[in-house]
Amino acid sequence: MTLDRELLAEIWPLFVRASVTTAWISALSMAIGLVLGLLTALARLSPWRPLRLVARGYVELIRGTPLLVQVYFLYAAAPYYHLTLPPIVSGVTSLSLYVGAYASEILRAGITAVHKGQIEAARSLGMSYWQTLRRVTIPIMAALVTPALTNEFTGVLKWSSILSLITVPELTYRAYQVIAESYAPIEALVLSGLMYWALTDIVAWGGRVVERRVTRHLSP
């Protein structure tokens, strides 16, 4: 099993550009998904039952079906509303909705993990509401949710490969293109695999850096 160096040299620049696409699509979806996740988490903790139910329905629907089916469905359904979204918009929307559901569960766990007693203790020490939020609530939450959210981010990087199936020109799309045109699968697979691996490791490393910063208050 040897690699065709000529082919590798030829596809290398194309794949680098494609991984940049994969990276920004994932980062954007992650950012939108986090906002969506926070709103959903708050909705699920709301005292108003209908809001809780809607939020729960959204989470269960997303977590109960494969992303591939969600991507196909939105891509096909939007035009019925005269919303003929370009592939990349449709894809990022699907990914964001997907992240939103999973992130909401992580954030909900984070929010409920901050004990009322901790907040009351901080207030009784004379901290204002904002001080308590900034110095107690958010740091505790951040320490709890950072590893899981980092995991989510690396997940998005990998799941974004599905957008290749609706013609978004990201890394896997380029890999398929090379496989289809050269009939040589190894080079494209090895190269795209390594690039995904590098991207996820960069994100995982970044996550650890953030984690160390947000858990500083826990170290002696």
Partner 1 sequence: MTRRLAPWTTAALALAAILSAAPATAGILDEIKARKEIVVGTEAGYAPFEFVKDGKIVGYHADLFALVTKDLTAQGVKITQLDVPFQALLAGLQGKKFDAVVTALFATEERARRFAFTVPTAVGTATIITRADNAAITKPEDLSGKVVGAPQGTRYLAAAKALSEELAKKGRAPIKEVREYVGFAEIYPDVENGRLDATLNGLPNALYLIKQQPGKFKTAGQLGEQTYFSWATRKEDRDLADWFSERILALKKDGTLRELQIKWFGGPMDVPDQVVYAK
Partner 2 sequence: MLPGFDPGIVVESLPVLVRGALVTLQVSALGILLAGVLAVPVAFARLSASRAVRGLAFLYVDAVRGTPLLVQLYAVFYLPPLVGIDLTPLESAVLALGLNGAAYTAEILRGGIVALPKGQVESARSLGMTQWQAVRRIVLPQVVGNVLPALTNEAASLLKGSSLISVLAIIELTRAGHQLVGRILRPLEVYFAVALLYLLVNAAIFWASHRLERRLVAYR
Nearer Cβ to partner 2, position 35 or 202?
202
Query: 172-175: long-range contacts at Cβ-Cβ below 8 A with a sequence spacing of 24 or more?
Result: 173/18, 174/11, 174/14, 174/15, 174/18, 175/15
Measured between alpha carbons, how far is residue 64 from residues 41, 61, 102, 139, 196 in Å? 18, 5, 11, 32, 26
CB 157 within 8 A of CB 195: no
Residue 148's Cβ-count burial label (10 Å; 0-12, 13-18, 19+) is middle
State the first-to-last Cα distance of the chain, in angstroms, to the nearest integer.
52
Rule CB under 8 A: choose which of 31, 68, 69, 76 binds partner 1: 76
Q: Interface residues for partner 1 in 78-107 (CB under 8 A)?
A: 79, 84, 86-87
Q: Interface residues for partner 2 in 191-210 (CB under 8 A)?
A: 192-193, 196-197, 200-201
Site string for partner 2, 71-100 (x = CB under 8 A): -xx-xxx--xx-------------------
CB 67 within 8 A of CB 159: yes
Min dist CB 193 to partner 1, Å, is 16
Candidates 10-18, 54-62, 73-81, 210-218: pick the segment binding partner 1 (CB under 8 A).
Answer: 73-81
The 10 Å Cβ neighbour count of residue 117 is 8
Per rule CB under 8 A, count of chain residues that contact partner 2: 37
Q: Does residue 61 bind partner 2 (CB under 8 A)?
A: yes
175 binds, among partner 2, partner 1, none (CB under 5 to 8 A by kind): partner 2
Q: Does residue 26 bind partner 2 (CB under 8 A)?
A: no
Rule CB under 8 A: choose which of 56, 123, 135, 158 binds partner 2: 158
Q: Which residue, among 142, 135, 143, has the nearest Cα to 118 in the 3D structure? A: 135
161 binds, among partner 2, partner 1, none (CB under 5 to 8 A by kind): partner 2
**Cα(166)–Cα(173) distance, rounded to whole angstroms?**
9
CB 106 within 8 A of CB 37: yes
Which stretches of the chain bind partner 2, using CB under 8 A?
A: 1, 60-61, 63-70, 72-73, 75-77, 80-81, 154, 158-162, 164, 172, 175, 179, 185-186, 189, 192-193, 196-197, 200-201
Which stretches of the chain bind partner 1, using CB under 8 A?
A: 75-76, 79, 84, 86-87, 165-167, 173, 176-177, 179-181, 183-185
